[in-house]
Amino acid sequence: MHAFWLLLFSITAGFTVSAIVANLYRICIFKVTSRSGQALRAAVLVVAGPSVLFENAMRGRIAKAWNPVLFWLATAGVLYWSLAIGLLVLEVTTHL
């Protein structure tokens, strides 16, 4: 049972970090003109991806543009992506 709670905590931590990064990115919108700016934007979107993808999936599902199978596949991908980010966050925080 301990492993199950650790799994849920990792997914939640990853999705929380993803949402925080996505919202900070939306607040600090900037023009990307250089190669380093594009690399930074890509790195930010790798972390912010689950939040952005789930938001788009929810909008599509509410508007009935997405069928249920695609919505649940996207949700499963978001959960897995959030798990990976959450495990990374937990690993970094335990070493601090």
Residue type at 52 in one-letter notation? V
The candidate with the shortest Cα–Cα distance to 75, out of 46, 47, 53, 52, is 53
pLDDT in tens, 3-24: 999 999 999 999 999 999 999 9
CB 57 within 8 A of CB 76: no
pLDDT in tens, 63-79: 999 999 999 999 999 99
- Domain spans of the chain? 2-95
Per-residue confidence (pLDDT) for residue 37, from 0 to 100: 78
Q: Which two tokens stand for residue 13?
A: 């931590």
